[in-house]
Structure 1
Amino acid sequence: MGTGEVILSCFVGVLMVVSLLSNVLVLICFLYSAEIRKQVPGMFIINLTLSNLLMTALNMPLTLVGIISKEQPGVDAFCRIVGFLETFLLTNSMLSMAALSTDRWIAVVFPLSYNSKMRYKDAAIMLGYTWFHSLCFPVVAIGLSWVGYNRLYASCTLSQSRPDDRMQFVVFTVVFHTLSFLLSLVVLCFTYLKVLRVARFHCKRIDVITMQTLVLLVDIHPSVRQRCLEEQKRRRQRATKKISTFIGTFILCFAPYVITRLVELSESIPINPYWGVVSKCLAYSKAVSDPFVYSLLRHQYKKTWMDIINRLLKRSSLNSSALTGETQNSNFVPTDDGNTFHD
């Protein structure tokens, strides 16, 4: 292997390890906390987490094998199944993020009617559509034999080798990415920008009330007044950073891969094979960022996994204490006269 293959192999290996650990931790938190399971957004998060775990366990290792061996991993039938799953899982993860953004939009813009607008039944309907939408395109692709090993991405994915149906494949690819990536991006931008607008409006109202209060409190120390103003500024910045993170990670991870797939349709524009694999790795990196962006850095999940760690440490401490006590007791041997002596 050359230097480029070694670097890409190490990159994919790191993505696999981090994605597996972080998504498993999200899954453990979901199973451990009844409070998280009771919340409607938990359904979207667990669907996204399972998609990421399947992508990590099935597609990433085979891409790693493709990078190292520069050959198709497994027989054609196996490669088609893996390519089918990859197309389904990528689309499902995109639409799951769109569903999450819709849930947060309803929660922020319609807080008083959220419980009636977003019930478990409504979330199940949204997830049902997500799965149906995600299955349609890979089913069509595998039926038309448009799934196989693509050397440009060193993985089993959408691929077309017959020149007689090239135009149909071009139309299919454009429609597929329009109704998966572009549709999800439009929903993300619409919902999160609405959320940001409402958040800024509430921050502005709080700022006005705070300033009026500070004016009334004429004897307040200047340092306290300054801290209040700085907290107002941080509150506005936090809202902007969160929205930027949600939209920015989606674009950064998926846009290079989607653009590369569309450019690939034009035979007049050559694509560097290293860039093809890098764009695929960027799409995989969304499985790494999702647990931190949507789950693990939130207060509820922090509290849950810290509670799990503390319980494990406490249990380990109790087991070691019990083991130490048994060892000490075993050092006292009874004598014939009923007394004990230390061995």
Structure 2
Amino acid sequence: MRSNGHKHKSFTSRKNFFTLRSAEHRQLSRQGEDLPGINPPGRAPPFSIFTVLILTLLALLTVATFLWNLLVLATILRVKAFHRVPHNLVASTAVSDVLVAALVMPLSLVKELSAGRRWRLGRELCLVWVCFDVLCCTASIWNVTAIALDRYWSITRHLQYTLLARRRISNVMIALTWLLSAAISLAPLLGWGETYSPEQERCQVSQDPSYTIVSTGGAFYLPLCVVLFVYWKIYKASKFHMGVRRRNAVVPLPEAAQVRGRASQEPQMVFTARRAAITFQTDGETWKEQKEKKAALMVGILIGVFVLCWIPFFITELISPLCSCNIPPVWKSIFLWLGYSNSFFNPLIYTAFNKNYNNAFKNLFVKQR
């Protein structure tokens, strides 16, 4: 009887175990169906229409980012008038954005296509991908910062910021941008944290808390403070110049102005000035004012798009390792690709405010035909 009872309990325990495992498997299957790209191991991902649409848009974003930045580079190389500042800063930004589209975004798309967003391309390719991801994205961010600084100095220090000084400073900024980006990206390869986990098939930027603070600070939060300070100074300078211009303007007379001769013995002489708007303004001042407004608008849009694209990713990137928060992978992917999209918007912004680029694009296609 004891033996039968023991067998019955053993059978009941096994039945409950398999029932529990089956329930867990069904729960994982439901979670995998809810999140695109998250599926149990060994099961083919069921690509829905929404998932296919999202992946298609990401692929188009990758191709468009690569082609648009490549077009900017080709234009700068072919047009001799662009072989000077600030176009060398634009060229450096386009190089970093081209590398993002060519080396980083395609492998990120492959990772999105894998079940559970697992990395199945090996350790070596993981290290290369993470290294170029940090290098190119950091360089792109600092190049945007360099463009903002160049516009700021050209507006506020146009007398001291000569063409020679501008060329030297821009070359120094480009060199520092790539050196800093390389230092941040190569640190994990020298042992500062781990990027690849073979057990979990995970490939990501090092989650070491000290590296997270240094890398996010150097790659985003420091340039963010710089660009916000620059735009605040540009805005103040623009408001100051507008105030000076208003104080120096000649106000039209509301009524006829009459000036009578002081000599009582002489006949009275009356001078009447007709009602008209009198403006003392040279062509140079008009051109300068328009240039300042255009530069301030361009820098404002460039900074605004930069902040909107990157701040969600870097907030989660900083908070997640420090508080051990479990952020859903789908949101990590959304924030990451939103940051990648900044490489697509950069050339659109700084070429939209320059008619020379539009004319050069047209001439480039006309010559090819």
Q: Would the TM-score normalized by the shorter structure come out above 0.5?
A: yes
Cα separation, partners in 2 of 1:145 and 1:268, compared to 1, 3 Å:
closer
Q: What is the alpha-carbon distance in structure 1 between the residues aligned to residue 191 and residue 170 of structure 2?
A: 33
The one-letter code sitting in structure 2 at the alignment partner of 1:263 is I
Give the superposition deviation at 1:5.
Answer: 4.0
Q: What is the alpha-carbon distance in structure 1 between the residues aligned to residue 55 and residue 222 of structure 2?
A: 32
The one-letter code sitting in structure 2 at the alignment partner of 1:276 is K
The answer for the alignment partner of 1:218 in structure 2 is: 275
Give the superposition deviation at 1:182.
Answer: 1.0
Which of 246, 260, 267 aligns to 2:302? It is 246
Q: Contact between 2:313 and 2:335, CA under 8 Å: does it hold in 1?
A: yes
The answer for the alignment partner of 2:104 in structure 1 is: 59
Quick check: 89-98 or 259-268, which moved more? 259-268
Which of 357, 360, 363 aligns to 1:301? It is 357
User: Structure 2 matches for 1:177-192, cutoff 5 A?
Assistant: 177-192=216-231
The answer for the alignment partner of 2:210 in structure 1 is: 171
Give the superposition deviation at 1:208.
Answer: 5.3
Which of 34, 58, 69 aligns to 1:23? It is 69
Question: Alignment partner of 1:212: what SS?
Answer: coil
Q: Does 1:81 align with 2:128?
A: yes
The one-letter code sitting in structure 2 at the alignment partner of 1:193 is W
The answer for the alignment partner of 1:106 in structure 2 is: 153
Higher RCO by CA contacts (8 Å cutoff, separation 6 or greater) = 1
The answer for the alignment partner of 1:321 in structure 2 is: none
Which of 175, 193, 217 aligns to 1:128? It is 175
Cα separation, partners in 2 of 1:211 and 1:65, compared to 1, 3 Å:
farther
The answer for the alignment partner of 2:8 in structure 1 is: none
The answer for the alignment partner of 2:286 in structure 1 is: none
Give the superposition deviation at 1:32.
Answer: 1.8
Q: Which has the higher helix share?
A: 1
How large is the RMSD of aligned CA atoms in angstroms? 2.9
Which of 337, 340, 344 aligns to 1:288? It is 344
> What are the Cα deviations for residues 125-146 of structure 1, in whole angstroms up to 9, with x where unaligned?
2222112211112221111163
Quick check: 283-292 or 267-276, which moved more? 267-276
The answer for the alignment partner of 2:113 in structure 1 is: 68
The one-letter code sitting in structure 2 at the alignment partner of 1:87 is V
Q: Contact between 1:8 and 1:278, CA under 8 Å: does it hold in 2?
A: no
Give the TM-score normalised by the residue count of structure 1: 0.75
Give the superposition deviation at 1:121.
Answer: 2.9
Q: What is the alpha-carbon distance in structure 2 between the residues aligned to residue 210 and residue 303 of structure 1?
A: 36
Question: Alignment partner of 2:155: what SS?
Answer: helix
Cα separation, partners in 2 of 1:134 and 1:264, compared to 1, 3 Å:
same
The answer for the alignment partner of 1:33 in structure 2 is: 79
Q: Contact between 1:65 and 1:73, CA under 8 Å: does it hold in 2?
A: no
Q: What is the alpha-carbon distance in structure 2 between the residues aligned to residue 206 and residue 17 of structure 1?
A: 47
User: Structure 2 matches for 1:255-294, cutoff 5 A?
Assistant: 255-266=311-322, 268-294=324-350
The answer for the alignment partner of 1:159 in structure 2 is: 206
Count of aligned residue pairs for this structure pair: 289
Q: What is the alpha-carbon distance in structure 2 between the residues aligned to residue 49 and residue 287 of structure 1?
A: 8
Q: What is the alpha-carbon distance in structure 1 between the residues aligned to residue 52 and residue 320 of structure 2?
A: 25
Q: Does 1:139 align with 2:186?
A: yes
Q: What is the alpha-carbon distance in structure 1 between the residues aligned to residue 295 and residue 85 of structure 2?
A: 22
Quick check: 198-207 or 52-61, which moved more? 198-207
Q: What is the alpha-carbon distance in structure 2 between the residues aligned to residue 205 and residue 213 of structure 1?
A: 18
User: Structure 2 matches for 1:199-214, cutoff 5 A?
Assistant: 199-207=238-246, 212=251
Q: What is the alpha-carbon distance in structure 2 between the residues aligned to residue 26 and residue 214 of structure 1?
A: 52
Quick check: 240-249 or 101-110, which moved more? 240-249
Q: What is the alpha-carbon distance in structure 1 between the residues aligned to residue 88 and residue 194 of structure 2?
A: 30
The answer for the alignment partner of 1:334 in structure 2 is: none
Give the superposition deviation at 1:209.
Answer: 5.7
Give the superposition deviation at 1:305.
Answer: 1.2
Q: Contact between 1:13 and 1:64, CA under 8 Å: does it hold in 2?
A: yes
Q: Contact between 1:196 and 1:240, CA under 8 Å: does it hold in 2?
A: yes
Q: What is the alpha-carbon distance in structure 2 between the residues aligned to residue 139 and residue 214 of structure 1?
A: 69
Q: What is the alpha-carbon distance in structure 2 between the residues aligned to residue 44 and residue 210 of structure 1?
A: 37
Cα separation, partners in 2 of 1:115 and 1:149, compared to 1, 3 Å:
same
> What are the Cα deviations for residues 271-317 of structure 1, in whole angstroms up to 9, with x where unaligned?
111110000101100110000112344222122112223434xxx4x
Give the TM-score normalised by the residue count of structure 2: 0.70
Gaps of 5+ in 2: 1-45, 255-272, 278-289
Question: Alignment partner of 1:118: what SS?
Answer: helix
The one-letter code sitting in structure 2 at the alignment partner of 1:218 is R
Quick check: 79-88 or 301-310, which moved more? 301-310
Question: Alignment partner of 2:143: what SS?
Answer: helix
